[in-house]
Amino acid sequence: MKVVLFCGGLGTRMRDYSENIPKPMVTIGYRPILWHVMKYYAHYGHKDFILCLGYKADLIKSYFLNYNEWLSNDFTLSSGNQIQLANRDIHDWNINFVDTGLTANIGQRLKAVEPYLDGEEYFLANYSDGLTDLHLPSLINFAKMHDKVGSFLCVRPSQTFHLVNMDESGVVRDLQDVTQRDIWINGGYFVFKRDIFDYMNHGEELVYEPFQRLMKEKELIAYKYTGFFGVMDTFKEKQQLDDMYARGETPWEVWREPKVELSSSRKVELRSA
């Protein structure tokens, strides 16, 4: 299943940090968040990527064209500076780099890569700024079971802010932490049927007009998830993810899950919760 990654926006809320690089290239540890998202999908067998490029597209292209696998892999350095990698990262990935416009919105970027999705019944899509430990096959199976045109991950807000209930004069009736309310937000992990393009017109933002049409026909469904989800939309959120990485608390690195050895006399099919 192909994976469309939206990585062409300006990232205005990260500009103090990412003035010279696109937001997907802002690092967590040794690698940009874009790599973490791609590594997540690759772990579940989805290694055919379509990158919707825009702002500073050259930096994303250069990163992968000059990719250093030794940076995040164990290796042996022998005489003559010969490097022998113990394992590899992206050798079996297929990446399409597509210029989708400097000022294009998400809907326009998705529409621009429609030709790359010919023959695909379903495809995956992602905002490229959120990390999760979600068992991806569960989301995909959920989408296929309900047979809807659009499905997306639905999570609880992770940041603390307060909802205000007031009357017309401004007198506050209630002030409540958003995390204490039954509020869910779009996590940016999508599963689409290719039919999504039938609901899109030129210039429209994905989650506005097209999603309104899907909702009207009851063709949009959300998958509620209460596990880990972290987004890097602001500098503060980038610092929080950096702190987690420094402490070794990286639940989104599902590819580091310990493998279970099965005895040769009895092999069973393993399913993640």
Residue 138 burial (CB < 10 Å; 0-12/13-18/19+)?
middle
Q: Determine the pLDDT at residue 10.
A: 72
DSSP 185-198: EEEEEEEEEGGGGG
Nearby residues of 120 by Cβ (< 8 Å), 6 or more positions away: 1, 2, 194
Among 48, 34, 52, 50, smallest CA distance to 1 is for 48
What is the structure's pLDDT at 19? 65
**What is the pLDDT at residue 261?**
39
| Cα separation, 121 vs 33, whole angstroms | 28
Indicate the helix (H) or strand (E) that contains 152.
strand 150-155
Query: Please, what are the domains in the chain?
Result: 3-156+184-256 (3.90.550.10)
Question: Which pLDDT belongs to residue 269?
Answer: 35
Burial class of residue 191, CB neighbours in 10 A (0-12, 13-18, 19+): buried
Its pTM stands at: 0.85
Q: Is the dihedral of CA 270, 144, 36, 97 positive or negative?
A: positive
Q: Which pLDDT does position 271 carry in this prediction?
A: 34
Q: List the chain pLDDT tens, one digit each, 273 residues.
A: 999 999 987 765 555 565 678 889 999 998 999 999 999 999 999 999 999 999 999 999 999 999 887 777 777 888 777 777 777 788 899 999 999 999 999 999 999 999 999 999 999 999 999 999 999 999 999 999 999 999 999 998 776 666 677 777 777 777 666 666 667 889 999 999 999 999 999 999 999 999 999 999 999 999 999 999 999 988 889 999 999 999 999 999 999 866 443 333 333 333 333
Task: Please choose, from the candidates 52, 186, 162, the residue with its C-alpha nearest in 3D space to the C-alpha of residue 113.
Answer: 52
